[in-house]
Structure 1
């Protein structure tokens, strides 16, 4: 990866020189009680030149596993680079995080309002501030997410097709799966793409939940990428991925044919054959038991862990085409 040599970077209006570290506050608005809300932006700079890397999480306030990943990166000192700069923002949507809501108090999904506007809605103002006051000097971003609405995502990196630079970084990260997906309009990832800032979007686990395996996968992947960029401190060991990532070109959701109580019987990451029994839907009275069979062969990359489902609800995300 090529990067610009920067003796000084500017974040939230503050100039930070090489070798300095600081904690800034990403403040936009107070709570309705007039209490201030401070979102820490933690910046660590080495004296040695190198890339400027940004770790972000909590774009959705209920995705606590992403917050835990960056918390561990900070707590373990992984964010103290031997070269370059690491910026950590563990919680972007602090308003949602306080109430464990996905959206902002204005009802908007932050990941659908980028690049935002200076005088727009609360979510739009946060997006604008992130884009205009944090990322202009950034060379590379890792953004951490989870599945929503009780759906558990296998650890995966999501990138757009036909980008060899991102393919290489995804290989280095070493998650079990790499899912090719289009950049969604007005998303953070799409805005970064337009600004020519490479970004890896990590998905793993589900909302309102912290999963050790998912967290370990993400932290180890972050260390591998930082090591690849020549930024990781020598006191950290690098573990090799158990296997190369499976690259997914296409996938589909298998949906419930009936409403009822749902119980999956297949583990996440498993490979299934069309017709395999992968779960069952029952009624509360012991009179009905429908066996859910795989609609196609592939890997299970998402499982709905909600105990109650309705007809048409997404149950399993199954790969249909691999690279």
Structure 2
């Protein structure tokens, strides 16, 4: 009797533990399996597999399908999650993941790389930063909605399915790839928030690392807060494939995988030119008009140094926009049409305040 009771108690304790189900197949499309849940632990080692992940249903009753590539090494090791396209006008990261999916040899890989080149199908279809499944004039930002909630509103359910069935169960570390959005451009620029994520960012070798407490609901911060070190990697301009930026990001992610002992090869040290910052300020136009930058992106600037001019419809000078702080220009407007209060450039620098060590 005691043995039976002990067995029952043990079963009850086990059933109380959260358990992720194995990969769940839900059909196929053009020979690619459609899944409702991914667990890379139950996939065959030494292989590349492709899936459509069903992230929810559109307003016309058809599924939103998210592409997933899993490269599972012949040897056990870490699980690295790489995502792109959570903003539908930010495309460079998609090409980076395509190149990695084609270039990583599973026979040489220890661990698993899960690549998701297109988290936001409706936004990608509309070439829109936001999540745009319908005509809504107030479309939400999917990268502020994690971890979401399955069975909630449409956006909460979409985010919740991705978080609980795709993202969180398959990540020991993660990199979320972005660019700036329409009308603007970044350097190759990484966000980090902890000592480990700063190290990850250094290995990827961007031009600038911004230590940043981040925003609630992002891939990066939601994972990091849940114990999975993650960074955001920004790759220049939107709405294009920039081959130079794509190649740099691919090389940087391979370098990260080498440091994680996932791939063979020597780890490259961060470039001497790397800028690490923990604070940021915007230089803004006070008047509407036509803006022309006086300095290129990446320039080092001193406080009150002229960085742009704004002219009226006749070309007459309205104002000179000055740098609000010493630092380096990490973002610029690429659209010369500006309204009063619009950002012309952003400048990053290092604050000595101890409270800002991991971001002000």
Deviating above 4 A after TM superposition, structure 1's stretches of 4 or more consecutive aligned residues are 8-11, 30-37, 78-81, 237-241
Give the secondary structure class of the aligned counterpart of 1:157: strand
Superposed displacement of residue 60, structure 1: 0.9
In structure 2, the partner of 1:150 is 183
Q: 1:199 to 1:99 in 2, by over 3 A?
A: same
1:265 aligns with 294
Q: Which of 40, 45, 55 in structure 2 is aligned with 1:28?
A: 55
- Aligned residue runs from structure 1 range 57-206, under 5 A: 57-77=84-104, 82-105=109-132, 107-134=139-166, 135-160=168-193, 163-206=194-237
Secondary structure in 2 matching 1:84: strand
- 8 Å contact kept, 2:186–2:331: yes
Q: What runs of 5+ residues in structure 1 fail to find an aligned partner? A: 1-7
Asked whether the 8 Å contact 2:74–2:107 carries over to 1, the reply is no
Following superposition, the deviation at residue 36 of structure 1 comes to: 4.9
Q: CA RMSD in A?
A: 2.5
The aligned counterpart of 1:293 is 322
Larger proportion of helix:
2
* Cα 1:79–1:125 shift into 2, 3 Å: farther
Which structure would you say has the larger RCO, counting Cα contacts within 8 Å and 6 or more residues apart?
A: 1
* Higher mean C-alpha displacement, 13-22 vs 198-207: 13-22
Q: Is the 8 A contact 2:82 2:174 kept in 1?
A: yes
Q: Is the 8 A contact 1:39 1:91 kept in 2?
A: yes
Q: Contact 1:80–1:233 at 8 Å: present in 2 too?
A: no
**Contact between 1:177 and 1:247, CA under 8 Å: does it hold in 2?**
yes
1:79 deviates by 7.6
Tell whether the 8 Å contact from 2:56 to 2:158 is kept in structure 1 after alignment: no
Tell me the CA shift for residue 21 of structure 1: 3.1
* Unaligned runs of at least 5 residues, structure 2: 1-19, 24-36, 134-138, 353-360
